[in-house]
Amino acid sequence: MSTIEEKLTKLREDTLKQLKDLRLENQKELQDLKVSVLGKKGSLTEILKGMKDVSQEMRPIIGKHVNEARDILNAAFEESAAYLEEEAIKAQLASESIDVTLPGRPVAIGNRHLLTQISQEIEDIFLGMGFQIVDGFEVERDYYNFERMNLPKDHPARDMQDTFYITEEILLRTHTSPVQARTLDEHDFSKGPLKMISPGRVFRRDTDDATHSHQFHQIEGLVVGEGISMADLKGTLEMIIHKMFGEDRKIRLRPSYFPFTEPSVEVDVSCFKCGGEGCSVCKKTGWIEILGAGMVHPRVLEMSGVDSERYSGFAFGLGQERIAMLRYGIMDIRGFYQGDSRFNAQFKG
Ligand code: FA5
């Protein structure tokens, strides 16, 4: 056997043994070994350098052995690489296995915002009485927000509801009352009386304090038909307030002024904090105002082309935040808008 053949055999045996002993996690070790054996500067190339000393007739034989050794080693490297890869995948799968017997993680279930709950509850009560629910525009025309509510330009009562103007003619609505004019325009009285409520967001240039916000929610109510009287208004208001706050809650109707109703009233409910004694929440009066109401002003009907001699109606606008505050003893209106889930989670509905 020539020296080259001996070297080849030894290289083959050593390499195969090394491959066997290779640590499983070690792809890099495998790669290094391959380079050191089969690479350009590897042991096989080194052995081949001895070919120049081999006789002419022996060269093809030795050459064949070299090729054989190279093929065997290449195949062994490929096999080891595949084996290592497979083992690595197995190890990864084992470490990531799912234990289906473990209990599941509880999913946090949220709840509707308290203001949504209040408006849905009120909607349900009125739907049960045959009212329709109407949507209005938060960005409204001065014409509907004021003029059609009997507040012509420069009317002093506009000062009660200053707002945010987008242009001279377009503003953020100060109340849900413009929906009255829009639905009166549409309603066909030959088909029966108009009975609607309209919940939504309104805006005012009010100073924010514990009970006032520059953005809040109202629910407008409107009933127009033949023979509708103040007694219907009072009965409806008493019914809704008792349903929302309980039969024993005290209610007070105070004469008031709104340009779009005549006569007008303001409705107060006895204070949730002091029960009527007088405290900081009710500003020492014992009462908290929750809504404005009245008999629809004949001019509002006429502007929609409704015959005010034949038809009459009542309207009201209640503050949703006030209702929620009264009901749950919420001391600060700002809690509704801060997006703190701890606030909302208290009212699971
Ligand atoms: C009005 O807005 C009238 N449009 C209501 C009305 C409708 C009267 C139909 C007659 C007929 P007022 O400005 O009083 O009225 O507001 C109605 C209710 O909204 C108040 O009773 C109060 O509960 C609530 N409210 C008013 N201003 C604020 C505010 N800044 N923050 C929170 N709630 C408010």
Measure the CA–CA gap between 227 and 6, rounded to whole angstroms.
121
Q: What is the pLDDT of residue 24?
A: 55
Closest ligand 1 atom number to CA of residue 293 = 10
Query: How many CB atoms are located within 10 Å of the residue 120 CB?
Result: 13
Q: What is the pLDDT of residue 25?
A: 59
C-alpha separations of 273 from 221, 242, 285, 318 in Å: 28, 18, 12, 20
Of ligand 1's listed atoms, the one at least distance from the Cα of 214 is: 30
The residue with tokens 């507040």 is: 151
In CATH terms, 114-347 corresponds, of 3.40.50.300, 3.40.50.2000, 3.30.930.10, 3.40.50.720, to 3.30.930.10
Which residue in 327, 322, 323 sits closest to 346, CA to CA?
Answer: 327
Q: Ligand 1 center to residue 319 CA distance, Å?
A: 6
256: β partners: 264
Q: State the pLDDT at residue 153.
A: 93
Indicate the pairing of strand 194-203 with strand 132-133.
parallel
- 237 to each of 135, 175, 243, how far by Cα in Å? 21, 19, 10
- Nearest ligand 1 atom to the CA of 206 is 30
The per-residue pLDDT for 163 is 92
| Whole-structure pTM value | 0.72
The amino acid occupying position 223 is: V
Using the atom order of ligand 1, give the atom closest to the CA of residue 318.
18
| Backbone phi, psi, residue 141, to 5° | -85, 145
Return the pLDDT at 271: 80
Kindly give the distance from the C-alpha atom of residue 177 to the centroid of ligand 1, in angstroms, as a whole number: 10
Rounded-to-integer distance, Cα 147 and Cα 182, Å: 12
**What spacing in Å lies between the alpha carbon of 274 and ligand 1's midpoint?**
23
Q: Which atom of ligand 1 is nearest to the CA of 174?
A: 2
pLDDT tens digits for the chain (349 residues)?
457 888 888 888 888 888 888 765 577 888 888 888 888 888 888 888 888 888 888 888 888 888 888 898 888 888 888 888 888 888 888 888 888 899 988 998 889 999 999 999 999 999 999 999 999 999 999 999 999 999 999 999 898 888 999 999 999 999 999 999 999 999 999 999 999 999 999 999 988 888 899 999 999 999 999 999 999 999 999 899 888 888 877 888 999 999 999 999 999 988 877 878 888 878 899 898 889 999 999 999 999 999 999 999 999 999 999 899 888 889 899 999 999 989 999 998 6
Closest atom of ligand 1 to 289 CA is 21
Tokens (6 digits) for 151: 């507040």
Calpha distance 39→33 (Å, rounded): 9
Residue 222 CA to ligand 1 centre (angstroms): 15
Q: How far apart are CA 150 and CA 261, in angstroms?
A: 9
In Å, how far are 76, 180, 341 from 108, measured between CA atoms?
55, 41, 12
**Cβ < 6 Å from ligand 1: which residues?**
175, 177, 204, 206, 212-213, 216, 218, 258, 261, 289-294, 315-317, 319, 321-322
- Per-residue pLDDT at 123: 97
Ligand 1 site-directed mutation target among 197, 213, 214, 216, most atoms within 8 Å of CB: 216
Q: Find the 257 Cα to ligand 1 centroid distance in Å.
A: 12
Q: What torsion do the CA atoms of 300, 301, 303, 305 make, to the nearest 10 degrees?
A: 170
Domain spans of the chain, in order of start: 3-95, 114-347
pLDDT value of residue 269: 87
